[in-house]
Amino acid sequence: MASLFEVTAGKAIGYVSGSAVTQGTSKSTGVTINAAAGAITTHNASLAGDANVTFTVTNSEVAATDVVLVSVKSGASTGLYAAFVSATAAGSFNVTLENVGSTAGEVVVINFAVIKAAAS
């Protein structure tokens, strides 16, 4: 049975179909992907060790009260990168990618999922 949240939000909790997007010119280049889940492929620009870079994901599925989760899927040397959401707003969220090792220029694929939420 669907919960009141599921019925009023009009969104399923669990599996949703996703989409994919690739950054154009650098790891700080913003992307647009209008889906509740998906994959973001970063540019292969070099990122110094112990440095981070932030980019904006424009996404019409995101509300300011939502929770956005990200994880490093593939493409990176094992354990070299960490990703986290550093801001959420209506229609967008920021992803910060951190290089926790030495300087590297790799494509990193980041998975994301939007969990619909409401402020109480």
Let me know if residue 55 belongs to a domain. yes
DSSP string, 51-105: -EEEEEEE-TT--TT-EEEEEEEESSPTTSEEEEEEEEETTEEEEEEEE-SS-B-
pLDDT of residue 9: 55
pTM across the whole model: 0.85
In this structure, is residue 86 part of a structural domain?
A: yes
Domain assignment of residue 17, yes or no: no
Within a domain: residue 7?
no
pLDDT for 41-71, tens place per residue?
A: 999 999 999 999 999 999 999 999 999 999 9
Angstrom distance (rounded) from CA 82 to CA 118: 27
pLDDT for position 7: 45
Residue 111 lies in a domain: yes
- Domain assignment present for residue 14? The answer is no
Q: Supply the CATH number for residue 60's domain.
A: 2.60.40
Dist. CA 93–CA 115, nearest whole Å:
13
**Total length of the chain:** 120
Domains in the chain, number: 1
Question: Domain range spanning residue 59?
Answer: 23-115
